[in-house]
Amino acid sequence: MLPGLTAARPRAPSLNLFMTADAVGGVWQYALDLCLDLERRGLGITLAVLGPEPSVDQLRAARAIRGLDLRVMDVPLDWTALTRSEVETAAWRVAREAERAGADLVHLNSPALAAIALFPVPIVAVAHSCVATWWASMRGGPLPPDLAWRAALAGEGYRRAAAVLSPTRAFAEATAATYALPALPWVVPNGRRSPAERGHRTPRGAAASPFAFTAGRLWDEGKNAATLDRVAARLAPRPFLAAGPLDGPNAACFAPRHLRCLGRLTDQDMARWLAGAPIYVSAARYEPFGLGVLEAASAACALVLSDIPTFRELWDDAAIFIDPDDDAGFAAAIELVAGDPAIRARLGAEAKVRADALTVEAMGAGVLAAYQAVLGETPRRAGAPA
């Protein structure tokens, strides 16, 4: 055990951690929740934000974490950069920033950076998603040149890391197979704090007429919002609300015709909508974890999800599963749940039980165990990366 990690808060950090993040999607929530838990365990943390600048509410949430050293860096993400040289510049700048921060360990939520720069300390890389596994799920066949070089960087970054983490076993297996990794990534499921833990007052009161709800990067084809738009047409006049941006930093966009779009919501606004106990729907074809589903499950929402390996792993027996392209099936399932309060309550309760096991504390303990293994404090578990 690293000294001081389970004792009272030390005067000096027991471990100086340097972590990268971005404010585009679920990585931001993952990073903030993890930083909060690790800071409580006594780690000193520098959080470097890559890509688009965080919004005002995102910055406020980050600065509320006591002791967090937040550094917003004007460098592109590897999947939005126009050229490899831009990624190279970003990688070396991040490596220099880690050295200046006096890091003992680097946690990369952008593993491609490890393929380029020489970091002064061991690296733990997290496989949140990547262009190669996205392409395999969405298109199949050889990668186009613009994605091939990005995938090559991601694969080399994984191989150079001292440990690779994945939020689900299904995605760990896909990542290991795609990049021919020597060992399966260490599986540490994501966690999410409840609205009450995040300081949101959301008195529960189910809507008089159940409505459907989804959230995420609507511009990302992997989220399959096009199917949900067709589902919304079938459900009318029952509302189907969608939270999240329609335009992405990579010039991708989505123009719905039937979904009622709410735009990007603040953390508190999202909690308010979920407090209305909507039927949460995801038709994702590609989803390594799905923090939006976890947040809805934490609010005891009934889940109607696409039948993909990661959702089955996390929510089997706690959701209704439909083929990702079956808009008629989704509409029928939503109407079934909306029309039967007993089914809705049972699904919501089952989802809540499952969500209650996916805590930030469990995530922090799993990530910390990986750190300790990398630093030689504890033996590696069977199946953990060598």
Q: What pLDDT is recorded for position 155?
A: 97
* pLDDT of 47: 98
Count H helices and E strands in the chain, helices first.
13, 13
Encode pLDDT of 331-364 as tens digits. Answer: 999 999 999 999 999 999 999 999 999 999 999 9
* DSSP labels, 168-182: SHHHHHHHHHHHT-S
DSSP assignment of 186-209: EE-------TTTTT--------SS
Choosing among 3.30.70.1400, 3.40.50.1820, 3.40.50.2000, 3.40.190.10, the CATH entry for 212-356 is: 3.40.50.2000
% of the chain beyond a pLDDT of 90: 86
Strand order in the sheet with 240-243: 260-263, 240-243, 212-215, 279-282, 303-306, 320-322
pLDDT in tens, 104-147: 999 999 999 999 999 989 999 999 999 999 999 999 999 999 99
Cα angle at 49 between 54 and 252, to 5 degrees? 60
Please state, in angstroms and rounded to a whole number, the distance separating the CA atoms of residues 212 and 221.
20
CA 17, CA 105: separation in Å to the nearest integer?
Answer: 5
pLDDT tens, residue by residue, 44-78: 999 999 999 999 999 999 999 999 999 999 999 99
Please confirm whether the linkage preceding 237 is cis (ω < 30° from 0).
yes
pLDDT, tens digit (0-9, with 9 covering 90-100), for 12-35 = 568 999 999 999 989 999 999 999
Domain ranges of the chain: 16-191+359-374, 212-356
In this structure, CATH architecture of domain 16-191+359-374: 3-Layer(aba) Sandwich (3.40)
Q: Of 362, 361, 337, which Cα lies nearest the Cα of 350?
A: 337
Amino acid, single-letter form, for residue 309: P
Mean pLDDT of 169-189: 97
Residue 269: CB partners within 8 Å, gap ≥ 6? Answer: none
Same fold, 16-191+359-374 and 212-356: yes
